[in-house]
Amino acid sequence: MELLRRLARQGRAVLVATHATASLPMCDALLVLVAGRVAYFGPPNDALAFFKAESFGQIFSRLPLRTPEAWAKVHLQDPQRAGFLARPAPLVNRPNNEGNAGVVSSPGPAGPAAPSNNKPADKPLGSAAEQLAALKAQRKGGAP
């Protein structure tokens, strides 16, 4: 997990799917899904209060207490959620033009991707978001 933490500090996006909870405090954000619905997204330590749990492991035993839809609704109404989503992106070390680390920057705000005339077959998909959009379009029978 420490290697993943270093990669994130270098500006790389790191996603980890796990049921092991010991290293969760090292994460910038925690996403808890219940049957594919967002039950929680925010700082790991705030999840304990959100789920009224004393440990991260106890969160798993709390999930059956509500339906996936109910967890999603509670999460959307949580005032902590808006504050977390509105916070600026963390500063990261990025390599400069010479490939040397040390230039400190903040990634720009996420926004919609620029329109592209290229179809997925013309070029490799460059991001998870593009891959998800392509899969969604394929399921609907259209092109991304």
What is residue 47's predicted lDDT score, i.e. its pLDDT? 93
Burial of residue 50 (CB within 10 Å: 0-12, 13-18, 19+) is buried
Domains of the chain, residue spans: 2-86, 118-144
DSSP string computed for 76-142: HH-HHHHHHHHSPPPPEEE--TTS-S-EEE-PPPP-PPPP----GGGS---SHHHHHHHHHHHHHTS
What is residue 56's predicted lDDT score, i.e. its pLDDT? 92
pTM of the complete model: 0.57
* Contact of 62 with 28, CB cutoff 8 Å: no
Q: What is the pLDDT along the chain (144 residues), one digit of tens a residue?
A: 888 888 888 888 888 888 888 889 888 889 999 998 999 999 998 999 999 999 999 999 999 999 999 999 999 888 888 777 776 665 555 554 544 444 344 444 444 444 544 444 444 445 666 667 777 777 776 555
Q: Return the sign of the alpha-carbon dihedral for residues 107, 112, 118, 124.
A: positive
The encoded tokens of residue 6 equal 């270093």
Pick the closest to residue 27 from 90, 73, 112, 94 (CA basis).
Answer: 90
For the beta carbon of residue 32, count every other beta carbon within 10 angstroms: 20
Tell me which H or E stretch contains 143: none
What is residue 93's predicted lDDT score, i.e. its pLDDT? 52
